[in-house]
Chains A and B, each alone.
Chain A
Amino acid sequence: MKMHVKKIFVRVVLISICMFVCSCSSVKEYQKSRLNDSEMILSGRKIEKTENSFQTYREGASGANGGKTGGGCGCN
């Protein structure tokens, strides 16, 4: 039953993502003033670098954040 619920949840998430991506409107360069704000960036910000570092050491998971994925340190 739990697996069934999980499968439905994954399908709902994937369909929602597809709907979001398909509903995109084309944005011209001059319309990107809000998107180009320095706090709208989609990657981790420089000040988060050392926070990501301690999390890599203190937790078992890493990666999928544009930074370290494993290796380069005596971390997990």
Chain B
Amino acid sequence: MRKIYLIIVWMYAGLLASFSQNATTDSSGYKTRKLTFEEVNLVSSYYVQDGDHASVTGGKGSEKLTDFANVLDVKFYRHDKKNRKHIYSLEAGIDNYTSASSDKIDLIANSSASSGDMRIYPSLSWSRENEKRGTTFGAGASYSTEYDYNSFGGDISFAQKTKSRNGEFFIKLQAYFDRVLLVYPVELRIGSTDFYNDSYGTDSRNSFSASASYSQIINQRFQLMFLADVVKQSGFLGLPFHRVYFTDNSVHVENLPNSRLKIPLGLRASYFLGDKIILRAFYRYYQDDWNLKSHTINLETPVKINPFFSFTPFYRFYNQTAIKYFAPFSEHMETDQYYTSNFDLSSFNSNFLGAGIRLTPLNGVFGYKHFNMVEIRYGFYKRSNGLQSNIVSVNLKFN
């Protein structure tokens, strides 16, 4: 009898052992700790503008300019032992521009060396997301260089999701330490006028900003974001090659105050209407202590023709009041302490409209599975003071 009991107990133990290899399902999922490539984006654009209020010639003259810009952005990620996601992003941009007005820094030469330039701007950023706590820390560094302007920048950021994961609060602190090469108009330089051999002085421009935003999901189709920045700039805030003509026909270098406080406030909204249309809107109110006030409204309506192709018309309206130091060509008085004839700081309205198409085929663009998106966009921009421009942009995405 005892033997029968023992056999039954061993059989029961054997049954238990045969199921012990079935581990309970790992709900957290394995996440690779190796550095893994996520995606690469290439954005290229060609920009052409023209107008008749060049700042280099005191607010009068051709504003013809072309710019070919390319930005490459590569992203990697990995998970650490605590299952936090680290994202590393490297961005490199190159702008090649030619400018008819920059050509007039030297009014005597047929063409000055400043008629074209190249700007290079790399940047690195890192963020660490803790999904469990709903927090994300980030930091970044940037550099920008062109012939007469260099910049070093850095930022840190923090984001916190709400308990329901339907809202997120975000804050970012940014600083830029810039250096301006003081290339004055040729007739206002003391001594030599040799563009290449002159030893130009430099001056600094520093910018500090705090940005905050709060995003909230309203329902399954609608979400909003509120944004606010405070920006303080100090140092040389004009540009040394901008001329200003006074009423007595004398010519001077633009002179602006050495501090500026800017406060932009923004609101973004996106709504999924029906099954095929998305409404995206952006509004910004801006004010600074140079008396410039502006309103920006941007509306976009992506229409999903099918899951792999969408068409997006857009329209942007912008208006601004002039800064208190602005006056057009030959209208500044000798008694003015600060003065500029830069029409970018004058009073105007602008309209920017255009459309784009976006392709995300299931098997990749041209059948290449890693080439998963191409987007092309055209925009026409016109200001009420005469400047107008065209821009064509392309975004290619690989993963």
Residue numbers of A with Cβ under 8 A of B are: 17, 20-21, 23-27, 29, 31-32, 34-35, 37, 39-43, 45-51, 53-55, 57-66, 69-74, 76
Contact = CB atoms under 8 A, between A and B. Distances in A.
B60 interface: no
Given A42-B215, A72-B142, A61 B43 contact: no
A60 B292 contact: yes
Interface in B40-92: 41, 43, 45, 47, 49, 67, 69, 71, 73
Contact of B220 (A27, A39, A48, A54): A27
B239 A63 contact: no
- Which 3 pairs across A and B sit closest by C-beta, in order of nearness? A71-B207, A71-B176, A64-B266
Given A60-B292, A62-B264, A46 B395 contact: yes
Nearest to B393: A47
A67 B15 CA distance: 63
The SS class assigned to the A binding surface is: loop
Interface stretch (B16-24, B188-196, B224-232): B224-232
B344 A58 contact: yes
B101 to A, nearest CB: 12
B218 A69 contact: no
B387 A61 contact: no
B223 interface: yes
Nearest to B163: A26
The SS class assigned to the B binding surface is: strand
B320 interface: yes
A47 B49 CA distance: 19
Contact of B393 (A29, A50, A73): A50
Nearest to A54: B47
A74 B180 contact: yes
B115 interface: no
A41 B270 contact: yes
Contact of B296 (A35, A47, A61): A61
A40 B270 contact: yes
Contact of B229 (A21, A49, A69, A73): A69
15 contacts: A24-B216, A26-B166, A37-B272, A39-B278, A39-B358, A47-B43, A47-B393, A53-B69, A60-B286, A63-B229, A64-B211, A64-B286, A70-B207, A71-B153, A72-B207
Given A29-B165, A42-B270, A64-B228, A69 B377 contact: no
Contacts of B31: none
Given A35-B217, A64-B264, A74-B239, A58 B73 contact: no
